[in-house]
Chains A and B, each alone.
Chain A
Amino acid sequence: MDDNVLLAKYLSGNEAALTILVERYQKELYRFIYRQIGNEADAADVTQKVFVSLFLKAKQFEGKSSFKTWLYQIAVNLCKNHFRSNDRRKESSGDDDALDIMQDDTKAEDYILSEYRSILKAAIDELPNKQRATMQLRVYQECTFAEIASILSSPLGTVKACYHQAVLSLTKSLKEGAYEANEL
């Protein structure tokens, strides 16, 4: 059933419609938020907040954009609020990385792969907010550039330029990371 129809049903008192909408988007939304925030507990908390905020404002949804775009607009906003109120992103992501990499029985090949992913993840975390959001919406959420422009309220050209810059920055960071690893 169409998202907008479900939202209308929820507004008319059908609570099951809320359940369907949450179940439909909860995982992809969590992943998006996790990649923004980098912490499991905070990502779960913000995911819930996004849905709560959305349904509290459901009456004001004008249907000018798609439900999904609106959902991500709210998510982008709440992630920003999270960063503003709690600047722990780097520390928390570091904790996760350490856990990933330092396994005693890790084979050399796996270790290199983990190391590579760790560098890549750190590089993504280091991107400016807009580039990171653009990168994640494009790569993970598979949004079109037009959808990203709508979610981030930016011109299409700016979004494309952001994405372009993000990929180039990541490539550069990976090269530098690989060089530093070899030096060690």
Chain B
Amino acid sequence: MAAFIIRRLLQSIIVMLVVAFVAFSLFRYVGDPINNMVGQETTLEQREELRERLGLNDSFPVQFARFVGNAVQLEFGISYRQARPVEDLFAERLPATLELAFVSAIFALIFGLGLGVYTALRNKSWSAQTIMGLSLVGVSLPTFLIGILLIWVFAVELGWLPSFGRGATVDVGGWTTGLLTLSGLQSLILPAVTLGLFQLTLIMRLVRAEMLEVLRTDYIKFARARGLTNRAIHFGHALKNTLVPVITITGLQLGAIIAFAIITETVFSWPGVGQLFIQAIQFVDIPVMAAYLVMISLFFVVINLIVDVLYYVVDPRLRAERPGAVR
């Protein structure tokens, strides 16, 4: 088990280094950092001096090492657009994105799992077919459209829920949360549903397909032949076997949620890192872009690692065999 974790850790570090390489190349070589930082009046000599001082004339490996060193300490330079350290901008906005992602993931998981099991067990029924049909539409609906639709129905027409912003937030030891206020919670609903709907569709179809597959296996047939109750078969056996591949894919999707948050945050003017990223692209704010790239990659890599470990824990076949199978 330990060897497995160490190996995966090493792989993760390699991936992160590659990402850092790409981010660094972006950072350093796309556009001229100096020209983006100083005003028009700065003379050429002053620019040269600045260049020298910031170490921009050093060799590539040296600069790269410096970049990595800074990155590890969470320093990513100064935003071109806002003239503030990038890490500060991120720190301010990360709680918003993380809360949104977390709540929508839970929403997608609970309903996705529930609907998936339901449509698998009641496979030929009317309701199951309808749900499956709707899910196909769901896959064709881009996230931003779902958001707009929800805004129109719930904010414009019915006026029940707010259509932008986070509502009132509470500062809890450096982390601003919207979960503790009524307006915060209300503001969270529409964005979370929007962000989670795509995931929900995915999870639902996956759970359904897996469960149908599992219900066709020999061990389920044998369980029936032994006279086990439907409850024991469906929720004892079939469900556990279904969950194993579902866990992997869901975990990987978690990373996608953080990325799709970009869209949701734009639709709802949600002050998170996704919105920051879009603004960075529009204004060609390279340091923010590079930092976002590194951060997202870190999330993906960590999530992949956790999922791999989880898979290992849940499926006994992957663990080391006890010595000497009985003949």
A, B co-complexed: no
Interface residues of A (CB under 8 A from B): none
